Structure 1
Amino acid sequence: MERDRLADLRGTYQVRAHQVVAAPSAAFAGLDVLRCFGFDVAEPNPVRRRKIPGGTVKLVFALEGTFEGRALDPTALVIGLHDRAGTAGHAGRMRSVQVQLDPLTARRVLGVPLDELRNGAVELGELHGPTVRRLAERLAETPTWTECFALVADYLRARTAEVEEDRAIAHAVRELRRSNGMRPVGELAAESGWSPRHFRRVFAEQVGLPPKDYSSLLRFSAALTALTRDPLRDMSALAGDFGYYDQSHLIREFRRFAGAPPGRLLNMSYSSNTAPGGAT
């Protein structure tokens, strides 16, 4: 299935797509949740999976697992927007519930400037206090995914604040998504009525990345999706279709966001989604 293939390539789920239990959309009715899922897997040998940024903020409830032979207590993390490739390693059992949020939704849930989370992760408890640990412990004791998803949905409803969106930023985000990151940022800054410097600052605070980095990520994501659908596509044509200066520019952006040029990325990732030693 093409969607699973792309998810495995990206490392969207931290595990393989077929190991994931997806939450039904009805469980999060009224909430702007892009995706919620759970998994319970055991890896007999250490693996290191490629992580390609996808423009979302993630809430990770780690319920049970082992790391370097040590059992982990239930905990919760917030993973901010990334603008570079990475890897994630794991061995042993791992049980988790994860939520992926649009940046503007994440800002309403978390209540902090998202640029403070750029390319990083923090304990959710640092933002929301001891109730987070109690929720993680309760999730660890909950026997079914359906009940787990309901608990997470209740938590999000309780934490989502009525924050007034800056219309200029919401408009800019919509335009960048509509154009796959190809709408000139200078035009959007001018449309906001703000100075370019102020526009960049407010955008980064509310979205998590500066506007040029966010637009570059969207353009890369669109190119990656197109390439996944047609792995034999001519690279020069692909570069032209998505507004890159030339094929070299396209390859540089793939190295930045995926850690590898297009051909090597596809060849390595479809079979195992495991980055070789030293790759990031």
Structure 2
Amino acid sequence: MLNFHTIYHPITARPFLSDYTYKEYLPGEPLRPYIACYWTTNEAGTEGTIRENLAKTAGREVLVIPDTCVDIILSVNHTKQTMTGMLCGIQDLPFTTVQGGETDVVTVFAIRFHFWAVHLFLNLEFQETRNLHLDMDDLGKEWRSLFEPFFYLLTVKERIARVEQFLYRKLADMELNSDLFQAVHNILDSSGGVSVRGLCESCCVSPRKLERLFLGKIGLPPKKVATLVRYQNVWHNLVTDPQFDILDAVYRYGYTDQSHLQKEFRRFHGTSPEEARKIAQSWR
């Protein structure tokens, strides 16, 4: 059984947020090596309460950062009795979205996959999903069928139960590529500080084969995956350690100097480390 989730913990730009606008749920124990979480918006309440909540958040900008995960997001429009779904591919750039503005009553349920596991559940060429959104129809008939009863499964508990029955069946047919998972383990174990040459030597594969594996199964080349893992480790350390020291992080994560860390952090987060921490704390 994989244990990558025990050594690597990617987080969003608002890691302390847990309310009607966004709430996370852990998957069952056997799925935790593959699924980071389920998350919801407007999960509970009467129609009037949901409308009131939507009004409160209208126009609010939300920063979305590269969390090294891939999400399947289902939006249920209870007013129009329609459902739309999409897959959000792995991203390597930050962006902002604007919340609210809807007049319909809409709830959202999403599955967030770890980057190393999503290809085990979806038959896609992941290089073509990088920084993109795919329509639910691109995921195949079985995924559309999975979500069809969500009109009638109104509680999060019911929805998670249905999804997990489906995912458990997928687990039974999994075949892990040893080269890919050895490389991913080395990246995570080094907190993103390993070189491509080091990965190739440890896995006994050529740089070309390793890049082809990562692009096809993850959507990014190994060097970019390692860089994002390093950034996420810095971000996690920054918001969870009250004694965080940037010079210590430079040494711990293998940056050339403080300027190198700050430049890379800003590239993926859109702000400085100090400002990013202030924003995260404001959502407590």
TM norm. shorter chain > 0.5: yes
Out of 29, 36, 41, which is 2:38 matched to? 36
In terms of fraction of residues, the more strand-rich structure is 1
Give me the whole-angstrom Cα distance separating, in 2, the residues matched to 1:30 and 1:255.
30
Out of 81, 85, 88, which is 2:90 matched to? 81
Q: Quick check: 1:177 aligned with 2:179? A: no
Give me the whole-angstrom Cα distance separating, in 1, the residues matched to 2:260 and 2:78.
41
Give the CA deviation at 1:11. 4.2
Give me the whole-angstrom Cα distance separating, in 2, the residues matched to 1:53 and 1:12.
13
Give the CA deviation at 1:24. 5.6
Q: Do the aligned partners of 2:88 and 2:133 also contact (CA within 8 Å) in 1? A: yes
Over 3 Å counting, the alpha-carbon distance change for 1:90 and 1:72 in structure 2 is: farther
Over 3 Å counting, the alpha-carbon distance change for 1:230 and 1:194 in structure 2 is: closer
Partner residue, 1:276:
none
2:139 aligned partner, one-letter code: L
Give the CA deviation at 1:54. 1.3
Give the CA deviation at 1:60. 0.9
Percent identical: 23
SS across alignment from 1:50: strand
Offset from partner CA, 1:42-66 (integer Å, 9 cap, x none)? 3312212111111111111112379
Partner residue, 2:6:
none
Out of 119, 139, 146, which is 1:107 matched to? 119
Out of 10, 13, 24, which is 2:13 matched to? 10
Partner residue, 2:3:
none
- In the alignment, structure 1 segments of 5+ residues that lack a partner are 1-5, 274-280
Count of residues paired in the alignment: 260
Give the CA deviation at 1:136. 3.5
Over 3 Å counting, the alpha-carbon distance change for 1:139 and 1:228 in structure 2 is: same
Q: Taking structure 1 as the reference length, what is the TM-score of the superposition?
A: 0.81
Q: Quick check: 1:233 aligned with 2:244? A: yes
Q: How does 1:190-229 map to 2 (within 5 A)?
A: 190-229=201-240
2:260 aligned partner, one-letter code: H
Q: Do the aligned partners of 1:56 and 1:103 also contact (CA within 8 Å) in 2? A: yes
Give the CA deviation at 1:213. 0.6
Over 3 Å counting, the alpha-carbon distance change for 1:245 and 1:33 in structure 2 is: same
2:34 aligned partner, one-letter code: D
Q: Taking structure 2 as the reference length, what is the TM-score of the superposition?
A: 0.80
- In the alignment, structure 2 segments of 5+ residues that lack a partner are 1-9, 43-49
Q: How does 1:123-134 map to 2 (within 5 A)?
A: 123-129=135-141, 131-134=142-145
Over 3 Å counting, the alpha-carbon distance change for 1:228 and 1:166 in structure 2 is: same
Out of 107, 111, 116, which is 1:95 matched to? 107
Over 3 Å counting, the alpha-carbon distance change for 1:104 and 1:266 in structure 2 is: closer
Partner residue, 2:163:
152
